[in-house]
Amino acid sequence: MTGRVTIDADLNFVQGLIHHGGADLKKCYQCSTCTVACPLTPDEAPFPRKEMLWAQWGMKDKLVRDMDLWLCHNCNDCTDLCPRGAKPGEVMSALRNKTIEHYSYPAGISKSAKTMSGNVVLFLVPMFLIALVIVIQNIDNNFAFLTAKPIVYANMLPVNLVDLLFIPPALFALFNAYKAISSFIRGLKEQYPPTEKGESLLTAINGTIKDVLSHIEFKKCGTNKGRNFSHKLMMYGFIGLFITTNSVFVLHWLHEFGFDVQTTPLPFFHPVKILGNVSSVAAFAGIYLILRDRIKNSNETVLTLFDWMFIGNMFLIIVTGILCQVFRVGDHAYLAFITYYIHLVQVFYLIAYASQTKFGHIFYRPAAMIYSRYSGRNKNIFSNL
Ligand code: SF4
Ligand code: SF4
């Protein structure tokens, strides 16, 4: 017996997808080679052929609740073998960006992050705010920090003020991420109701943490084998920098409360300084390798402004962070303080808009991976797919 199926097509969604990374989507003729080639897809309801079909038909509701978009690790084995050049790996990536935009809270920020003029506005916020605080802090002493020796960044912007500038956007980002990921998980639950074959939530979280730290999924990639190493370098580099920044924060406040601890500028062989420097080098090497591979495979990969803003932002954070130290040690005051200002602006952008930009994948992917285990995704057939 056959039933009637009504498809709620969203043509604006298809157009948006085509303009933001999925330009070759319509070339797909559903041969399924990509699904056979994918090293990460489960046997039941596999990807990415079905996503190509849903995307061609404009089935936005299914796609924004599609856990499989996030189980794909962009290895591009599928793109490599697609006989029509439809670039399914890139379409999956564009669909992830659309998902971030769909759940973005507040919605406008993600839309802005996709356009040049929008990004100018997003950058103007920290540029103006940080400059204003620097001026207010230093106007009475005639910007004495510029000529004071040795160069100390806290003379321009005391750590208390840095905390005051960065804690509110961090809280803003966490709140927005909570709102976005809650809606995302509600969507996953509707599309993939939990089954009795799923793991407990604790086991699912535990397993996902191990998967992320070991990059086990990246290791299965064929075409983009090197991505396992480069992404791991970048991820561990940024984890190291995150720990470094928070250690500096803790040291500062311990010192403020009378504890006898070293504060910034830390000596070269201080453990926190060593961690920071090693992490910077790792993150820089990771980003460099990712960029090199992307450019080398530029006929197969598609980088949108949304992608470039993320990569460029990460790259500038690392480079300005390293240069801050170089210029400080080399006693180039103007260069040092300008570089530090650019560094702060870039860090503000990364933190404040974390869940609405491409950086948001650090929330979405683990959430989907946890839910995949929790729902028993790779052990079950979802009849509604
Ligand atoms: S994306 Fe390419 S490989 Fe996949 S189904 Fe379409 S035409 Fe076939
Ligand atoms: S990019 Fe890799 S993981 Fe993603 S669908 Fe294609 S083959 Fe699978």
| 217 plus 347 within the same structural domain | yes
- What is the CATH number for 73? 1.10.1060.10
Interval 16-42: pLDDT, tens:
898 888 889 999 999 999 999 999 998
For a ligand 2 pocket test, name from 35, 47, 67, 93 the mutation site with the most ligand atoms within 8 angstroms of its C-beta: 47
| 266 plus 221 within the same structural domain | yes
- Give, using CA atoms, the residue closest to atom 4 of ligand 2: 72
Q: What is the pTM of this model?
A: 0.89
**pLDDT confidence of residue 42:** 86
| 140 plus 231 within the same structural domain | yes
Alpha-carbon span 346 to 313, nearest angstrom: 6
**pLDDT confidence of residue 352:** 96
Alpha-carbon span 318 to 372, nearest angstrom: 33
Q: Is residue 192 part of a domain?
A: yes
| 236 plus 302 within the same structural domain | yes
| 87 plus 222 within the same structural domain | no
Q: Is residue 4 part of a domain?
A: no
DSSP string, 332-376: -HHHHHHHHHHHHHHHHHHHHTTTTSGGGHHHHHHHHHHHHHHHT
Alpha-carbon span 92 to 239, nearest angstrom: 26
| 117 plus 99 within the same structural domain | no
Atom of ligand 2 nearest to the CA of 79: 6
**pLDDT confidence of residue 186:** 96
**pLDDT confidence of residue 297:** 76
Alpha-carbon span 100 to 304, nearest angstrom: 14
| 174 plus 99 within the same structural domain | no
**pLDDT confidence of residue 379:** 62
**pLDDT confidence of residue 382:** 47
Alpha-carbon span 208 to 236, nearest angstrom: 16
Residue 290 above 80 pLDDT?
yes
Out of 61, 76, 105, a domain closes at 105
| 39 plus 112 within the same structural domain | no
**Cβ(28) to ligand 1 under 6 A?**
yes
| 150 plus 73 within the same structural domain | no
Interval 35-88: pLDDT, tens:
999 999 988 889 999 999 999 999 999 999 999 999 999 888 999 999 999 999
Burial of 253 (0-12, 13-18, 19+ CB in 10 A): middle
Closest CA to 365 of 136, 209, 229, 257: 209
Interval 360-375: pLDDT, tens:
999 999 999 999 999 9
Q: Is residue 385 part of a domain?
A: no
**pLDDT confidence of residue 357:** 95
Q: How far is the CA of 82 from the centre of ligand 1 (A)?
A: 5
Atom of ligand 2 nearest to the CA of 74: 1
Interval 340-351: pLDDT, tens:
999 999 999 999
Query: If you average pLDDT over residues 329-335, what whole number do you get?
Result: 94
Q: Is residue 6 part of a domain?
A: no
- Give, using CA atoms, the residue closest to atom 2 of ligand 2: 75
Q: Is residue 63 part of a domain?
A: yes
Confidence of residue 302 (pLDDT cuts 50, 70, 90): confident
What is the count of structural domains for the chain? Answer: 2
| 317 plus 366 within the same structural domain | yes
Confidence of residue 226 (pLDDT cuts 50, 70, 90): confident
Closest CA to 355 of 99, 126, 91, 16: 99
Atom of ligand 2 nearest to the CA of 51: 5
Residue 113 above 60 pLDDT?
yes
| 15 plus 80 within the same structural domain | yes
Q: Is residue 3 part of a domain?
A: no
Three-class secondary structure of residue 59 per DSSP: coil
Q: Is residue 51 part of a domain?
A: yes
Residue 184 above 70 pLDDT?
yes
- Give, using CA atoms, the residue closest to atom 8 of ligand 2: 38
Query: If you average pLDDT over residues 103-123, what whole number do you get?
Result: 92
Looking at the chain, the whole-number percentage of residues with pLDDT higher than 90 is 71
Out of 105, 137, 159, a domain closes at 105
**pLDDT confidence of residue 381:** 45
Interval 209-220: pLDDT, tens:
999 999 888 888
**pLDDT confidence of residue 265:** 80
**Cβ(263) to ligand 1 under 6 A?**
no
Confidence of residue 383 (pLDDT cuts 50, 70, 90): very low
- Give, using CA atoms, the residue closest to atom 2 of ligand 1: 82
Out of 63, 88, 105, a domain closes at 105
**pLDDT confidence of residue 324:** 94
For a ligand 1 pocket test, name from 52, 87, 91, 92 the mutation site with the most ligand atoms within 8 angstroms of its C-beta: 52
For a ligand 2 pocket test, name from 35, 75, 96, 301 the mutation site with the most ligand atoms within 8 angstroms of its C-beta: 75
**pLDDT confidence of residue 362:** 95
Burial of 298 (0-12, 13-18, 19+ CB in 10 A): exposed
Q: Is residue 40 part of a domain?
A: yes
- Give, using CA atoms, the residue closest to atom 7 of ligand 1: 28
Q: Average pLDDT of the chain?
A: 90
| 60 plus 142 within the same structural domain | no
Alpha-carbon span 131 to 356, nearest angstrom: 24
**Cβ(31) to ligand 1 under 6 A?**
yes
Residue 148 structural domain: 107-375
